[in-house]
Structure 1
Amino acid sequence: MSLSAITFLYPAMLAGLMVLPIVWLLIRSAPRSPKNVIFPAARLLRGLKSQRRDIQRAPIWQTILRCLILTLLIIAAARPVMNRNDFAQNDGAVLIIADNGWESAANWTQYRTALQQIANQARFDLQTVYLAQTAPEAAGASTWKLPEIVGPVSSQDTVNLIDRLHPRPWNADYTALSDLIAEKPEMNNAIGSIIWLTGDMDGPGKASLAHELQDIAPITVLSPTRSDRLAITSLTRTRTGMVATIAHDRNDNPRVINLLARGERGTVLLRHNAELAANSDQSETTIFLPSDIANAIQSVGIEGVESAATMFQTGARWQQRRVGVIVSSGDSPGVLSDQYFFLDRALSPYAEVTYEPLGKLLEKKVDILVATGPISGLGSQFDALERWVNDGGMLVRFAGDSSTEIGNEFLPVTLRLGNRDFGGSMSWEKPKRLLDFPDNSPFYGIPVPNDITVNRQLLAEPDPDILGKTWARLTDGTPLITSAPRNSGRVVLFHVTPWADWSNLPMSGLFVELWQKILPLASPSNRNDAELSTSLPPQAIMDGFGQTHQPDALILPVRAPLPVPSPRHPPGIYGENGQAVALNLGPSLTNVANTVTWPSGVSTRKITDRNQVDLAALCLLGALLLLLFDALILLALHHLTLRRNRRSNAFGSFLLLIGVGGIAAGLLAVSPNNARASTIQEAALQPRLAYLKTGVPPVDRLSQAGMTGLTEYLRRRSAADLNTVDGIDPETDELSFYPLIYWPLVDGQEPFSERARERLNSYLNNGGMILIDSRDREVQPARLRRLLAGLEVPLLDRAPGDHILFRSFYLLDHAYGRFSAPLWLDARPNQRLDGVASVLFGGNDWASAWMIPEGRDEIRTEDIAPRQREMAVRFGINLVMYALTGSYKGDQVHLPAILERLGR
């Protein structure tokens, strides 16, 4: 370890050393305090002499000691840092490859630490940086590609890029990165070292990319200290609960993880210990659950591992439906077991099946009724069955045997008399096969086996809308499965019997797959949806950490069969209600247990947070110790004087040194701010607006100017007379007296402490409102994930144009600011708080638009058009009125009814 490894983050602060000679002269020229001597007046008269008293200088040891204290404080303000490790040994630019595929999410905190360390070292060594990512992003209308390699950029710009980097919920593309690097020969000539942040999991083209990079520059691989690789690859529903399959890396010893099953709004329903088998790459765990709890499960994840691969969502297909098979009251159990064998085998793993007469099934309010032939007991229950279907029930019917007719009631199509035979002794036709399922069928995408044959069927009349009602058809075009809506319900007809006399369909695996598609369509939450859709739009998608958020315009709908997760189809829920399907990352992962083999010559290291030592704290500690040492010496030298006079100069000097030390230590603050939070008494007497201190002086000054300008506009245009603006710190200041807090985001902002998170949660839960401003037009709620960790932030949704916020004072249609990006707010505001949104998020740089520009240099006034500034001010006034008065404007919709009552 050498002194050359010490560098200063803020070297300009060392200019304070130039004042040391002045301090030296001041200390040396200051006279020491005179001694008080008590003597008789007569002695003074007798020994009167005219003598001049010389100035007594401070001792040299005291001057040196105090100059040394000031020197330590100045050095501490310059933030000296010692590098204990050297990432890039060679000169030239540094190529950073940040592996941001799904595997990186579980260790992203360590990745960010390493990226910050590399950027700091590049600043110390005056090196430029190239930054490459391995996860592709959406590009064009329906494709995706790797982001371009950024560089060369300075170390400061690298810090800004790192703050915007985050993991993706899909696989990395090393082959595409190899092609991208090969297309930049000028970059390859400038690179002196390559630093690759990645885990030890192998991937297609990963080792080959390392071979190619060795021809450019030496490679250093930084890996996280945690090497566990986990993914939930399947979640299967059983009669007694569910079975979870977990893919993991091989280990000599068994390991235990916790599975968390969550319900609606993230409520934890179950915590289950699962053991990962030793010397294996896959483990299964069986969880026994009651049916009602299993039905309520929305997702299953691994506790403590934030990754899209460890989060498995269920979708509508997961919930078990209650299916009632209509039987006659006299049917014996033996008849039922023989007659409904194939139907029971197809339904029982995925639904609760009950065999009872029609009347009892209607009383139990089942989701699906199944009739195999004529509906037994229809005469007395006709009206009840019709009401049940019209209210959203699903009736599935099958053809009866050759000696019975199924009737004309409750059918999706009109049937011809008699049956149609294929392959009989009296027929010239051979048995028919199935065609591929049409686009309008919920079975679309299911492969049709070649061995499915039909010998007999019920033939439908060729109605004009027969094609829209057909879910499956034979090779000659005749329908095999038809369906039609009936008010809010649906009727489905299999034109064959549920046993194997007319067709071998019931005894095939295809019959099970068909029922797996039919069962979710009977979702109780979808009883008013009579139309089916095979193109499923995204409803909620997952980011790399496995957290769900609202989709944007780059996400495309999915169709069966489900695609592999990609930038256009990230993991999440697609479709609505009964057709909602879950696209999960885990089932597509096949290389979780594979470990990469690096070529010889590649240096591998672990990421650690001890690669740099901040010496500023040591300098402060040394200054404090020297200050105490100086005070102790003064107390010892003037002990007798201190006993006579409590206000002696030694004690005064001690207090003076403490004051000087406090002022010098204040130089360490990254962002001094003159604005302070008001006392509780002042805030309670008159409301005022506030902004969160960021620690960046220009941003804090701009926030203060913007909120002050908005306060002045409110005073001019409305009856709201607010007091002066406060800059607050949630760590120390009381927040409950501020109706609105403005929070500007800055690059490199650290997350809140535990105390600050508790204060902010209490503020939001009791009716507070926070406006978060990214100030760069990039309105992405997922960007707040790191800063808002631990805060109870609700699900955000894009603000509609008719929201109360846009008509609380002025009639607006947008959240105008310096820019015109969309505004995001609570998707489902708490009704306990009068339905008022507590968190609003956007990127329109509102403070710049609200400030009164005279005398300000943070932003040029010509950057904002006068019309844009006026609309921004109107939005600000609307925002404050919304924070102060809530949703009272929404009550005006009842004004006609109120006037009518007053007229009476």
Structure 2
Amino acid sequence: MNLAAITFLYPAMLAAVLVLPIVWLIIRSAPHSPKQIVFPAARLLRGLRTNRRDMQRAPLWQTILRCLILIMLILAAARPVLNRNEFSQNDGAVLIIAENSWSSAANWPDYRAGLHEIINQARLDLRSIYLAQTAPEPAGATITRLPDIIGPVSAHQADRFIDRLHPRPWAPDYPQLSNLIADQQHMANSIGSILWLTDDLDYPGKAELANDLDALAPITILSPKRNSRIAIQSLVRNRTGLGITLTHDRGKLARDIILLARNDQGSVLLRHNVTLAATSDHTDTEILLPGDITNSIQSVGVEGMETAATVFQTGARWQQRKVGVIVSSGDSPVLLSDRYFFLDRAISPYADITYAPLGRLLEDKMDILVAAGPISGLGSQYAALERWVQDGGMLVRFAGDATTEIERDFLPVTLRLGNRDFGGSMSWEKPKHLLNFPDSSPFYGIQIPEEITINRQLLAEPDPDIVAKTWARLTDGTPLITSAPRNTGRVVLFHVTPWADWSNLPMSGLFVEIWQRLLPLASPSDRPEAELQTSLPPQSVLDGFGRAHQPDATILPLRAPLPVPNPRHPPGIYGENGQAVALNLGPFLDNLDSHIRWPGTTALRKITDYDQIDLAALCLLAALMLLVLDGAALIFVHHVSIRRSRRHNALTTILMAVMVGGTSAIMILAAMTGTASAVEIQAAALQPRLAYLKTDVAAIDRLSKSGLAGLTEILRRRSAADLAPADAIDPESDDLSFYPLIYWPLVDGQQPFSAYAQAQINRYLDSGGMILIDSRDQEAEPARLRRLLAGLEIPILDRAPGDHILFRSFYLLDHPYGRFASPLWLDARPDQRLDGVASVLFGGNDWASAWMLDEGRNSENRTDDISPRQREMAWRFGVNLVMYALTGSYKGDQVHLPAILERLAR
């Protein structure tokens, strides 16, 4: 131990050491207690001489022992502290500004450690605390604002707040924080120091806030030891794979990172090493990949840096579609290259384009078919084309040349005969321009260049639904691009040709942007009609660490153009099927190498790994132990004289028992840090057992207890899992970390959990725990679960496939059998850090009723609607569930696959 790291909060108390010599003399000069002699008979006094009792000094060991006790008490009064962190020496309250925007996630353990160090110092100094955050949060129906400044609070209350603090996946709002602090005049008059946990990244309003705070009180900046900022700014496809652009801060030396590409199940498809140059804040890299693997990529991240900025999601627009251009069998390659030059340039970077007759394209199962003018070969392939469109295909048509008329089949609107000509020698009208795309169009939000002109167009009949079918129109209101659904497919018509004779649209960048929006719409849809959604609801969003979870009610649908990520639109996936759009944080981050200039009086410090330790309690404990030792020694020394009296002996025994027992009780109470029973915690830790969440509904709790008791007994009879009796737990007060599986029955009118209980459950799931949520009423829709469990970090759920490991972990099953037969929902993307094991399972099969044994089914819990066969299958599913919770993905080993297939074949 480095004694230089010990600091005394009250050093004046050490002056009491000066009285030690006086105490030494007093103890040494004190006589022993008189020797007790039973008065003998008078005859025994004959011949005895008178003895004078002399003063005797106390033994040396006793003197040293009692001086040590006094020294320990003096040291405790001086309040020694190990690793004292002198963040501030001014009187008054402490204002803590906790950075919790996107940039804090990479160093969040350091920030948490720094916050606890500050709170420990405030606890030792008996100072009150104010807490402020930098990231805004949703407020009301549509607005966002910074959370109110908390305080003044004690150190204990501040600790509870820190445990609930998490980084947010959006930018900080320093101007609003400055206004919020300015409005707290009572706080400004009471604070004596400001401690700001942040890095040196410059953000709008950050320097101004620092200057304002510098005039208020001394500022100390606590920054993490590792100050590395990285964001994935763009991810694009090319003909050979993909290209990635990273933005980052400049370092003193080049550094290497690893990019991880994952699929929709969270499995790693690719690991790619990238070297970040020290002389630049941008790094571009190319990765060679086959098209099918590139199509499977759902996200790209940076290994070891879990932030929303280092995760780039792809969305539906990422997947490359197969586009077939319908041509005649006799068309030459030269003719095709000249005729479809602009079309090929617009589509080929983003899709796999093929030129072939209609029959061959239908056989190759294209996603999109493109036809210019009349559809070649339609007569023999009419039924096949109709079936292809009805099953989800997209047919895109263009006008032909001026001498041909396109057939009236496979059109979204009714066309008039002939063409409409602008600016010709026989026309008085000038070429037309485009209006802004309507909000019902998939092209909404694209900027239209002024130089786009239309000289000729196919004119549509003014049908009653022509407005709903129009995606783009000219300045006179006539349609330019129309579309109509056909079952799950769609037909789209460009009222101009794909070459530059009717307009300059195919030559422009607008034509490329239109195709970028058009290609993703070719994804199959499970809706009755392929209607478009211009308001895209959130499907999954990212937290500050870049982990996907289901959105809550505070997140609003997304509309084009894409906004900067904010509390109402965090990074994530919005929309469904082909319209799914990925909103990423990285494209909105730039200049990560900018450094803020702090005021000259600002103190800059790094967050250390050494926490403050109050040694006063250890000194008191040492003094108590020495005092007990001193008493025991006195009792031992005088035991011979005292034992002659039974009464004295009994009294001594009682006093020793009281002293030892009281000392033990004091030591045990001092060692306890919570209200949980040590015996119960030890039992739960030494022997595995199941648990169920108490609902405060007596009948449901008895049902859960009986069901888990039956499942525990079945496990003991049929497997090597010898579990202890199940426990009833409450996340408000109990530790959940000892239970491999928790059964959670939902009840009507369930009260929401407190913030502490939510943090307990979220921590349990994040550390590898598993919860089976049972609605008990066959209603097993994840949307209902989101409503009931708002505030919990429930992952994205999907229906469990029939070949999931859960269904073959012990028995070979194909369904989550219970009292009912509804499906089971579980993690769609299990955390690979937890070996890919699902943490949340949700269903409505009333498993507790089906798991009870005959001796556990009383009149109240009786469920006579379960057949013996159904109960047997429910027991088997319960055994599989517990084995899955205990062994994880063990049965996913391909070694067992041949045996499983052989048994299934029988």
TM range (shorter): 0.7 to 0.9
Query: Which of 669, 673, 678 lines up with 1:670 in the alignment?
Result: 673
User: How much has 1:418 moved relative to structure 2?
Assistant: 1.2
1:345 is paired with a residue whose SS is: helix
2:8 equivalent in structure 1: 5
Alignment of 1:731-750 (within 5 A): 736-737=723-724, 742=729, 744-745=731-732
1:828 equivalent in structure 2: 798
User: How much has 1:467 moved relative to structure 2?
Assistant: 0.6
Alignment of 1:107-256 (within 5 A): 107-256=107-256
User: How much has 1:789 moved relative to structure 2?
Assistant: 3.5
Q: Output the CA distance in 2 between the equivalents of 1:745 and 1:838.
A: 25
Structure 1 residue 471 corresponds to structure 2 residue 471: yes
2:460 equivalent in structure 1: 460
Indicate if the aligned counterparts of 1:739 and 1:883 stay in contact, CA closer than 8 A: no
Indicate if the aligned counterparts of 1:741 and 1:770 stay in contact, CA closer than 8 A: no
1:265 is paired with a residue whose SS is: coil
User: How much has 1:457 moved relative to structure 2?
Assistant: 0.8
2:768 equivalent in structure 1: 791
1:232-271 Cα shifts (integer Å, max 9, x gaps) = 1111111211111111011242211111111113111111
Indicate if the aligned counterparts of 2:188 and 2:216 stay in contact, CA closer than 8 A: yes
Q: Which runs of 5+ in 1 are unaligned?
A: 8-27, 32-57, 634-652, 692-702, 726-733, 807-812, 840-874, 896-904
User: How much has 1:590 moved relative to structure 2?
Assistant: 2.5
1:366-394 Cα shifts (integer Å, max 9, x gaps) = 11011111111111111111110011110
2:289 equivalent in structure 1: 289
2:888 equivalent in structure 1: none
Q: Output the CA distance in 1 between the equivalents of 2:594 and 2:5.
A: 41
Q: Output the CA distance in 1 between the equivalents of 2:625 and 2:413.
A: 94
CA RMSD of the aligned region, Å? 4.8
User: How much has 1:775 moved relative to structure 2?
Assistant: 7.3
Residues 121, 223 of structure 1: alpha-carbon distance in 2 compared, 3 angstrom cutoff: same
Residues 126, 106 of structure 1: alpha-carbon distance in 2 compared, 3 angstrom cutoff: same
Alignment of 1:491-890 (within 5 A): 491-525=491-525, 529-613=529-613, 615=615, 664=667, 667-671=670-674, 673=677, 675-676=679-680, 690=691, 714=702, 736-737=723-724, 742=729, 744-745=731-732, 763-764=740-741, 769=743, 776-778=753-755, 786=763, 788-791=765-768, 802-803=777-778, 827-828=797-798, 830=800, 832=806, 834=816, 880-881=848-849
User: How much has 1:204 moved relative to structure 2?
Assistant: 0.7
Q: Output the CA distance in 1 between the equivalents of 2:490 and 2:824.
A: 39
Q: Which runs of 5+ in 2 are unaligned?
A: 11-31, 36-57, 634-655, 713-720, 808-815, 817-822, 828-842, 854-860, 871-906
Counterpart AA for 1:565 = P
Indicate if the aligned counterparts of 1:372 and 1:498 stay in contact, CA closer than 8 A: yes
Residues 662, 877 of structure 1: alpha-carbon distance in 2 compared, 3 angstrom cutoff: farther
1:900 equivalent in structure 2: none
User: How much has 1:787 moved relative to structure 2?
Assistant: 5.1
Indicate if the aligned counterparts of 2:456 and 2:496 stay in contact, CA closer than 8 A: yes
User: How much has 1:187 moved relative to structure 2?
Assistant: 1.1
2:839 equivalent in structure 1: none
1:293 is paired with a residue whose SS is: helix
1:557-588 Cα shifts (integer Å, max 9, x gaps) = 11110111111111111111111101111111
Indicate if the aligned counterparts of 1:372 and 1:399 stay in contact, CA closer than 8 A: yes
Alignment of 1:84-99 (within 5 A): 84-99=84-99
1:524 is paired with a residue whose SS is: coil
1:473-511 Cα shifts (integer Å, max 9, x gaps) = 111111111100111110000011100011100010000
Indicate if the aligned counterparts of 1:203 and 1:591 stay in contact, CA closer than 8 A: no
Q: Output the CA distance in 1 between the equivalents of 2:153 and 2:144.
A: 25
Q: Output the CA distance in 1 between the equivalents of 2:187 and 2:780.
A: 50
How many aligned residue pairs are there? 739
Indicate if the aligned counterparts of 2:232 and 2:245 stay in contact, CA closer than 8 A: yes
1:340-372 Cα shifts (integer Å, max 9, x gaps) = 111110011110111111111111111101111
Q: Output the CA distance in 2 between the equivalents of 1:707 and 1:676.
A: 21
User: How much has 1:93 moved relative to structure 2?
Assistant: 0.6
Indicate if the aligned counterparts of 2:488 and 2:525 stay in contact, CA closer than 8 A: no
Indicate if the aligned counterparts of 1:391 and 1:527 stay in contact, CA closer than 8 A: no
User: How much has 1:327 moved relative to structure 2?
Assistant: 1.2
User: How much has 1:439 moved relative to structure 2?
Assistant: 1.7
1:274 is paired with a residue whose SS is: strand
Indicate if the aligned counterparts of 1:392 and 1:527 stay in contact, CA closer than 8 A: no
2:432 equivalent in structure 1: 432
User: How much has 1:278 moved relative to structure 2?
Assistant: 2.1
Indicate if the aligned counterparts of 2:242 and 2:288 stay in contact, CA closer than 8 A: yes
1:813-848 Cα shifts (integer Å, max 9, x gaps) = 99999x999996983365635256789xxxxxxxxx
Q: Output the CA distance in 2 between the equivalents of 1:59 and 1:711.
A: 70
1:688-733 Cα shifts (integer Å, max 9, x gaps) = 8648xxxxxxxxxxx9xx6999599628x9976959x9xxxxxxxx
2:402 equivalent in structure 1: 402
Indicate if the aligned counterparts of 1:110 and 1:607 stay in contact, CA closer than 8 A: yes
1:865-895 Cα shifts (integer Å, max 9, x gaps) = xxxxxxxxxx999785477699x99999x99
1:31-59 Cα shifts (integer Å, max 9, x gaps) = 9xxxxxxxxxxxxxxxxxxxxxxxxxx99
Counterpart AA for 1:385 = L
For normalisation by structure 2, the TM-score amounts to 0.72
Q: Output the CA distance in 2 between the equivalents of 1:890 and 1:106.
A: 54
Indicate if the aligned counterparts of 2:164 and 2:759 stay in contact, CA closer than 8 A: no
User: How much has 1:409 moved relative to structure 2?
Assistant: 1.2
1:366 is paired with a residue whose SS is: coil
Counterpart AA for 2:766 = A
User: How much has 1:181 moved relative to structure 2?
Assistant: 1.2
Residues 816, 182 of structure 1: alpha-carbon distance in 2 compared, 3 angstrom cutoff: closer
1:298 equivalent in structure 2: 298
Q: Output the CA distance in 1 between the equivalents of 2:359 and 2:141.
A: 54
User: How much has 1:589 moved relative to structure 2?
Assistant: 1.4
Q: Output the CA distance in 1 between the equivalents of 2:680 and 2:292.
A: 54
Counterpart AA for 2:277 = A
For normalisation by structure 1, the TM-score amounts to 0.72
1:871 equivalent in structure 2: none
1:331 equivalent in structure 2: 331
Residues 374, 741 of structure 1: alpha-carbon distance in 2 compared, 3 angstrom cutoff: farther
Residues 187, 6 of structure 1: alpha-carbon distance in 2 compared, 3 angstrom cutoff: closer
Q: Output the CA distance in 2 between the equivalents of 1:237 and 1:814.
A: 37
User: How much has 1:140 moved relative to structure 2?
Assistant: 2.2
2:798 is paired with a residue whose SS is: coil
Q: Output the CA distance in 2 between the equivalents of 1:565 and 1:106.
A: 18
Q: Output the CA distance in 1 between the equivalents of 2:503 and 2:725.
A: 73
1:744 is paired with a residue whose SS is: coil
Counterpart AA for 2:729 = Y
Counterpart AA for 1:791 = G
Q: Output the CA distance in 1 between the equivalents of 2:505 and 2:188.
A: 62
1:433 is paired with a residue whose SS is: coil
Q: Output the CA distance in 1 between the equivalents of 2:408 and 2:700.
A: 76
Indicate if the aligned counterparts of 1:131 and 1:151 stay in contact, CA closer than 8 A: yes
Q: Identity, % of aligned pairs? A: 58
Residues 713, 240 of structure 1: alpha-carbon distance in 2 compared, 3 angstrom cutoff: closer
Indicate if the aligned counterparts of 1:714 and 1:721 stay in contact, CA closer than 8 A: no
Indicate if the aligned counterparts of 2:537 and 2:575 stay in contact, CA closer than 8 A: yes
